[in-house]
Every structure is written in structure tokens, then in C-alpha cells.
Amino acid sequence: MAASSQQSSQHLLVLLLLLLSCLAGAATAGSTMQCHDEDQAALLAINSALGSPYHFASWTPDTFCCDWYDVDCDNATGRVVGLSVFGDANVTAAIPDAIANLTGLRTLVLRHLPGLTGGIPESLAQLSGLSQLTISYTGVSGPVPAFLSQLAELALLDLSFNSLSGAIPASLADLPALASIDLSRNRLEGPVPALLLSKCPGQVELWLSHNNLSGAIPAGFAAINFTHLDLSRNSLSGDASAVLGRGKPLQHLDLSRNDLRFSLTGAELPEQLTYLDLSHNAIRGRVPAQVADLAGLQLFNVSYNKLCGVLPTGGVMERFDAYSYQHNKCLCGSPLPACHRYML
């Protein structure tokens, strides 16, 4: 009986060892399938162009590139589909043209690389399958390139916190999948393209703050389903009421520090607003009573305008102190001083 039990234990041990061997073999085979020679060669060229920083210490020719730090591969094809390099002050170079040799790339993120300089290379136009392009918090300069309009699959474009200059290319409006644009904190000039984001049928996001943009907010923005719209700290002028309206999905609206001139009286506000900053403009009229009914509103600032009349009461109004209303023409009522007859 004891001998039989011992044989069973030995048999189970042999089966376990065989199973572990098979799993190890499968893992090795899987790793072998996960690296294409052309992708590995492109990544090694990128490493060399960036000066072989310590950030890429795992990028060695004797290991599979899909196991390298910052690299993502498609499980089915084994091709490199994602490259995300961020947070390395030791990278001091231009954006390598070799990135364009990663022909299956869908996501490219170059973020928090202050030593990354030069322009955005035209070679990136070869990445026809790219859906996300992020070059942010770098020393990259030059224009926002018009060739980006060739990236037909592009859904997210983030070029914020750089030193880009010139105009926003009108051709960006040709991208049918583009749903999120962030060009904030650059040195961009000129108008906001009239049809920007107009081809996207769904909800979209646009950040253009801290630039030198001028002209009117495009009238076509009235028909776009913004959830986030930040045009603050530019030199935009004219009427911005078209971006307001009941039933819109807008949650975050920042138009502060421009030269916008329109009446807020009678304006209808999107019910989902959580953030509304219209400060530092030349907006006239009254604060709409509807503000009190915006249950999700956490920030409301209409200071430094030309508003007049009694403030709404009730609802969410108690969340906002006098700072939200200071330096207007003749606003009154809590939390400001009481109204006099001439203010009503």
C-alpha cells in the first residue's frame, strides 16, 4: 500500500514537471513571436538617436523588444503598437525619424522630456495607423505641422506645454476621428479654425489655453458636442454665447481672460456643467437664474466683467463667495452687498 502511494506521488511529480516545462516552452515561444526584426531595429535606432539614456537600460539586442520598458506590442501580431517615453530629463535630442519605422504604431507618447528639442518631424506622417499622438512638456518648437491631417486614424492629439508657434492648421479639421485636441501652453497665434472638430459625430474635448489666439470663437462651435472647452488666456473677442445652451453635454467651460463681449442675460446653460469660468472679459447683462439649478456646478467665476443686477439665490449659489463676482459694474445681493434701487 505504501509502495503504491509512493508511485502515485512520483507520477504526480512527473506530470507537474512536464506541465511546467510545457508552460515555460509556450512562454518562450510566445516571447519569440512578440518581436519583429524591423521593430527591434527601429527601437534600437531610436535609443541611439536619444543618446542611449538610462531610461532605456532594458533595450538590449539580446532581449525581445516587446519586453522592453515603454514598449507595447499587439498580442495577436507581435508588432509594436505603443511607445510611451516620459519623465527623463537625460533625453537630449530631437524627435528621432526612426520612430516612423514602427509602422504598426498606434500610440506615441513623448511626455515630460524637457531636453527633447527641434520640430515635429514630417516622417511621423508615415504612421498611418496612429490614433494617439502626445508630445507634451518638452522643448519641441516650430509650427503645429499641417501633415498631421494625413493621420486619418488620429483620435487624440496632445501637443501641450511646448514652444510651438504659428497658426493652428485649418487642415486638422479634416480628421474624421479626431475627438480630443490639447494645444494649450504654447505660443500659437491667429484664429481658431472655423471647422475644427466639426467632423467628429460624438463628444469632443478642446484645450487651447495660454496662447496668443485672436479673432472670434467659430460660430460652428454651436453644433459641436463639447464636454470640455478651454479657450482661456488668449485674445479672443466677440460673442461666445453659441457654445452655451440647454441639452449640450458640456461639463467644463473656461473662457476666462479674453476680450469676449456679449450679454449673459437670457443665456441658457448646459445642465451638466461642473466648471464655468467667464472671468476677465467684457460680458454684460445679468447672471442667469438657472445657475442656481446646476446641481453639479463646483466652480463659477464671472468676476472682472460688466455684469449688473441682483444675484440668483438658492440651489448651489451658497457654494460661491464674493470672489466669484468681484469687479463687475453693479452686481448685488448675497454674498455681495445688498442691492440699491438703481441696481435693479
Residue 5 has pLDDT above 50, yes or no: no
Residue 31 has pLDDT above 60, yes or no: no
| Closest by Cα among 116, 66, 58, 59 to 86 | 116
Phi, psi angle pair for 202, to nearest 5°: -100, -160
Enter the DSSP assignment of 311.
P
Residue 182 has pLDDT above 90, yes or no: yes
Average pLDDT over residues 21-43: 62
Q: What per-residue confidence (pLDDT) applies to 315?
A: 97
| Closest by Cα among 258, 257, 230 to 243 | 230
**Could you tell me the fold of the domain covering 35-306?**
3.80.10
Alpha helices for 98-177 (secondary structure H):
none
CB atoms within 10 A of CB 93: 16
Confidence (pTM): 0.89
What does the alpha-carbon distance between residue 164 and residue 184 come to, in Å, rounded to a whole number?
10
Average pLDDT over residues 218-245: 97
Every domain of the chain and the residues it spans: 35-306
- 228-250 burial string, b = 16+ CB within 10 Å, else e? bbbbbbbebbeebbbbbeeebeb
Q: What per-residue confidence (pLDDT) applies to 28?
A: 41
Residue 194 has pLDDT above 90, yes or no: yes
Contact 246, 237 (CB under 8 A): no
Would you report the helix, strand and coil content of the chain in percent, each value rounded to 5? 25, 25, 50
What does the alpha-carbon distance between residue 231 and residue 339 come to, in Å, rounded to a whole number?
33
What does the alpha-carbon distance between residue 109 and residue 30 come to, in Å, rounded to a whole number?
26
Of 30-34, 69-73, 270-274, the one with minimum mean pLDDT is: 30-34
What does the alpha-carbon distance between residue 180 and residue 205 come to, in Å, rounded to a whole number?
5
Residue 216 has pLDDT above 50, yes or no: yes
Contact 119, 147 (CB under 8 A): no
Q: What is the pLDDT of residues 293-319, one digit of tens each?
A: 999 999 999 999 999 999 999 999 999
Which residue type sits at 153?
A: E
Average pLDDT over residues 120-143: 98
